[in-house]
């Protein structure tokens, strides 16, 4: 029997890791003291409480609701105010303090107009904010907090939040700092800075589980906010992949993104935010559809109510024009990819243009709109010369929109098809499975993929569709992006068809039905969810699936908690278009060091009322899991990385002490 000594074990690891790697590491830690200090530091971080994670999904352009929920961290900040001042402040004082933290600039202006003793109010408020900041920063290292500090007040805030109240010798020092801030007329700027710091420290990581785009008016505003967010990941939704495809140059995706913007009267996001020139589309639509009332293409939603009759008529014509071009381009894509299995979506060649009927699966339906001036019955999927010129101009605008490309690049840099994070599996829609619960095999090119391998292959092709210089790879990737938007086995869509044509042209609502993937029934099974978790390599007894995409119909008694808590659906209706169905205005999930909490939110009235009347979103919180023992950083993915770093540093120490590498003093 051979016993391996500590040195033997380290020498084996050294051989595995390689002296060359340790030499590179020694440039960062050039001495035994430097390596030892870093090991001590990492071991200390290992035992800090886990940071708070905030999960949001299906935001759908509702920028005001999103902004408020982000600022209040789904109630985390409000709970912190209650925790610190629960018995010492009245409810209206706590509301005012919380609102000040959410909207410091706007709320300050209002308060300062009403307060008679400004200096006294400043002093009291500064002390309160410092206490809250102390609390939210307590689970981080000083180094991490220091990196988050605002440049103008970094040193001062660091001194104040690390003040020890029992240290009498320094009490005057801290009091003098606050007095000087007020005397120098810097209190207002300081309150804004520390409030934003509290917002930042309240959440360590934000997860957005897809569908930032479409329906609501402010997807671009949401992206501008996310651009500067300190720690973020995004799981792509089908509406996101649509805009990613459009930004890459997919003509079918471009048409869909314009059509949906027209449907919800959100063309301003294209014209004003992204600088997309829609004048060619408007000119074409007015010329071709001027004698058509386009009644089925009238915009819907809140934005439509703000448009004049003339504007609505123009949008309806543009809407129909781009829809017809979309059906043609989609038909071309389907014919080019028989492996997609979407032949049932080839409908333009099933129309009897003289009778005004369509044949779907052997049944004839009357079309309530039979005005198709640009469709050649002999070649229904071929674009007219004018349509081809129009698409060329629109594509040029999409490819050259700097802001759109910037937002889509954020989706690529922070996004993915799925993510395993701290033992949770995050994805937007579904896992393609069959009726018996087995993973579906899906043909991509000439190979079959399923489960995690399908997700990985799809993501690789999506990235090629945007970044690759090889046109063949790029076109295949762009086509797949369109498929992921609406295809029958798309994990981002999760339905057997997208009945866009039927909803526009056929009155019989049976044709509008879009059958859901078997996943949406099977996800109620705990065993099915555990099987999916195993497929992605995580412990099914300790992990959860978190997804969105399909709004939870709370008004009809549906629960967001599935499979005995193994799966959580957090699409509760951020989009106003869904709220009549869901009965609420969204779910968010909070993961703290003590466990999981699910928050359901009532509809958000407006930012103005939130500031002026201190109307926070009314939220109900369900504690899903609670542990008396706090989860530490060492229990997370970051802890796994820390273990690896500590091991490498110990090997470096060993190499120094054995003389294999020399210290660089």
pLDDT digits (tens, 9 = 90+) for 175-194: 888 889 889 989 999 999 99
63 with 188, same domain: the answer is yes
> Tens digits of per-residue pLDDT, 525-534?
999 999 999 9
pLDDT at site 234: 97
Q: Does one domain contain both 95 and 202?
A: yes
Same domain? For 575 and 646 the reply is no
The secondary structure of 130-158 as a DSSP string is: HHHHHHHHTTS-HHHHHHHS-TTTHHHHH
Domain membership flag for residue 192: yes
Read off the tokens for 242: 């649509």
pLDDT, tens only, 405-431: 999 999 999 999 999 999 899 999 999
**pLDDT at position 12:** 57
Task: Provide the pLDDT for residue 3.
Answer: 35
Domain membership of residue 258 (yes or no) is no
77 and 200 together in one domain:
yes
Share of the chain above pLDDT 90, in %: 65
- 160 lies in the same domain as 181: yes
290 by Cβ neighbours in 10 Å (0-12 / 13-18 / 19+) ranks as exposed
Say what the alpha-carbon torsion angle 631, 633, 638, 640 is, to the nearest 10 degrees: -80
Residue 353 lies in a domain: no
Q: What mean pLDDT is reported for the chain?
A: 89
Q: Picking from 336-340, 539-543, 615-619, which range would have the lowest pLDDT averaged per residue?
A: 615-619
Distance CA 127, CA 131 (A): 6
* Region 51-60 average pLDDT: 92
> What is the Cα gyration radius of the chain?
29
Q: Is the pLDDT of residue 468 over 50?
A: yes
Range of lowest pLDDT (46-55, 231-240, 391-400, 414-423): 46-55
Contacts 24+ apart (CB under 8 A), 282-287: 282/314, 282/317, 282/318, 284/321, 284/386, 284/387, 284/390, 285/314, 285/317, 285/318, 285/320, 285/321, 286/314, 286/317
Which run of H or of E encompasses 448?
strand 447-449
Nearest of 659, 640, 644, 661 to residue 13 by alpha carbon: 644
Q: Name which residue leads in pLDDT, 247 or 445.
A: 247
Same domain, 627 and 640: no
Let me know if residue 388 belongs to a domain: no
Confidence of residue 467 (pLDDT cuts 50, 70, 90): very high
**Is residue 551 predicted with pLDDT exceeding 60?**
yes
Token readout for 125 is 């408020």
Task: Examine the domain organization and report whether 91 and 195 are in the same domain.
Answer: yes
Question: Which band of pLDDT confidence, cut at 50, 70 and 90, is reported for residue 236?
Answer: very high
pLDDT of residue 2: 35
pLDDT at 7 over 60: no
Residue 588 and residue 651 in one domain: no
Q: How confident is the model at residue 615 (pLDDT cuts 50, 70, 90)?
A: confident
3-state helix, strand, coil in the chain (%, to 5): 55, 10, 30
182 in the same domain as 124: yes
Confidence grade of residue 570 (pLDDT, cut at 50, 70, 90): confident
Residue 650 lies in a domain: yes
Question: What is the longest distance spanned by two Cα atoms in the chain?
Answer: 94
Greatest mean pLDDT range, 16-30, 536-550, 577-591, 625-639 = 536-550
For residue 4, pLDDT beyond 50: no
Task: Give me the pLDDT at residue 307, please.
Answer: 80
Q: Which residue has the higher pLDDT, 322 or 20?
A: 322
pLDDT of residue 618: 62
State the pLDDT confidence band at 121, using cuts at 50, 70 and 90: very high
Q: Does residue 87 sit in the same domain as residue 36?
A: no
pLDDT tens-digit readout, 250-294? 999 999 999 999 999 999 999 999 999 999 999 999 999 999 989
pLDDT tens-place string over residues 490-504: 999 999 999 999 999
Q: What is the mean pLDDT of residues 87-93?
A: 90
Does residue 581 lie in a domain region?
yes
Tell me if 142 is assigned to some domain: yes
How confident is the model at residue 588, as a pLDDT? 85
Q: Are residues 89 and 42 in the same domain?
A: no
Number of domains in the chain: 2
596 in a structural domain: yes
559 — alpha (psi -120 to 50), left (phi > 0) or beta?
beta
Main-chain dihedrals φ then ψ at residue 119, nearest 5 degrees:
-60, -45
Q: What was the pLDDT predicted at 1? A: 33
Note the pLDDT of residue 578. Answer: 65
Q: Which domain holds residue 26?
A: 6-46+636-657
Q: According to the model, what pLDDT value does residue 132 have?
A: 94
Asked if 18 and 78 sit in the same domain, the reply is: no
């Amino acid at each position: 029997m051979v016993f391996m000594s500590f040195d033997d074990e380290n020498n084996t690891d050294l051989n595995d890791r390689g002296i060359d790697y340790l030499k590179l590491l020694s440039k960062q830690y050039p001495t035994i003291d430097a390596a030892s200090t870093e090991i001590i530091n990492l071991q200390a971080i290992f035992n800090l409480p886990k940071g708070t994670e905030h999960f949001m999904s299906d935001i759908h352009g509702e920028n005001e609701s999103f902004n408020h929920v982000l600022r209040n961290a789904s109630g985390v900040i409000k709970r912190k105010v209650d925790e610190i001042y629960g018995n010492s402040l009245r409810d209206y004082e706590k509301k005012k303090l919380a609102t000040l933290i959410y909207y410091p600039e706007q709320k300050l202006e209002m308060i300062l107009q009403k307060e008679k003793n400004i200096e006294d109010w400043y002093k009291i408020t500064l002390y309160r904010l410092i206490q809250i900041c102390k609390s939210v920063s307590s689970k981080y290292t000083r180094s991490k907090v220091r990196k988050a500090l605002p440049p103008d007040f970094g040193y001062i805030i660091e001194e104040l939040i690390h003040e020890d109240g029992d240290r009498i010798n320094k009490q005057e020092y801290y009091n003098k700092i606050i007095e000087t801030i007020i005397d120098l007329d810097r209190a207002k700027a300081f309150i804004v800075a520390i409030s934003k710091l509290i917002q930042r420290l309240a959440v360590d990581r934000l997860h957005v589980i897809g569908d930032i785009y479409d329906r609501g008016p402010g997807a671009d505003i949401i992206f501008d906010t996310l651009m500067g967010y300190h720690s973020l990941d995004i799981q792509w939704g089908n509406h996101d992949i649509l805009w990613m495809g459009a930004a890459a140059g997919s003509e079918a995706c471009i048409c869909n993104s314009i059509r949906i913007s027209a449907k919800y009267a959100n063309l301003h996001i294209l014209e004003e935010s992204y600088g997309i020139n829609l004048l060619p589309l408007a000119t074409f639509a007015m010329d071709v559809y001027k004698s058509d009332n386009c009644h089925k293409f009238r915009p819907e939603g809140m934005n439509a109510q703000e448009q004049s009759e003339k504007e609505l008529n123009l949008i309806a014509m543009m809407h129909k024009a781009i829809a017809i071009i979309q059906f043609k381009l989609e038909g071309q894509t389907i014919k080019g990819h028989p492996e997609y299995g979407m032949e049932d979506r080839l409908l333009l060649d099933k129309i009897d243009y003289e009778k005004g009927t369509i044949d779907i699966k052997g049944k004839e339906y009357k079309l309530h709109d039979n005005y198709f001036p640009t469709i050649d019955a002999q070649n229904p999927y071929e674009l007219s010369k004018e349509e081809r010129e129009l698409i060329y101009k629109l594509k040029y605008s999409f490819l050259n929109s700097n802001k759109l490309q910037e937002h889509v690049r954020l989706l690529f840099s922070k996004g993915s098809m799925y993510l395993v994070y701290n033992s949770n599996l995050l994805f937007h829609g579904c896992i393609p499975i069959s009726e018996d619960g087995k993973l579906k095999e899906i043909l991509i090119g000439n190979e079959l993929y399923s489960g995690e391998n399908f997700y990985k292959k799809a993501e690789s092709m999506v990235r090629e569709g945007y970044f690759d210089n090889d046109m063949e790879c790029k076109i295949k990737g762009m086509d797949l992006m369109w498929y992921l938007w609406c295809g029958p086995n798309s994990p981002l869509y999760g339905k057997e068809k997208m009945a866009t044509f039927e909803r526009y042209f056929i009155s019989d609502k049976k044709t509008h039905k879009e059958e859901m993937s078997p996943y949406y029934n099977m996800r109620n099974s705990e065993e099915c969810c555990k099987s999916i978790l195993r497929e992605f390599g995580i412990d099914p007894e300790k992990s959860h699936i978190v997804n969105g995409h399909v709004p939870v119909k709370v008004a009809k008694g549906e629960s967001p908690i599935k499979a005995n808590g193994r799966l959580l659906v957090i699409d509760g209706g951020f989009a106003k278009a869904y709220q009549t169905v869901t009965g609420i205005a969204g779910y968010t999930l909070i993961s703290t060091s003590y466990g999981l909490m699910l928050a359901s939110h009532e509809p958000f009235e407006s930012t103005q009322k939130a500031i002026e009347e201190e109307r926070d979103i009314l939220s109900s919180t369900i504690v899903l899991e609670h542990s008396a023992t706090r989860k530490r950083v060492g229990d997370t993915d970051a802890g796994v990385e820390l273990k690896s770093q500590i091991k490498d540093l110990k090997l470096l120490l060993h190499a120094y002490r054995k003389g294999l590498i020399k210290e660089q003093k």
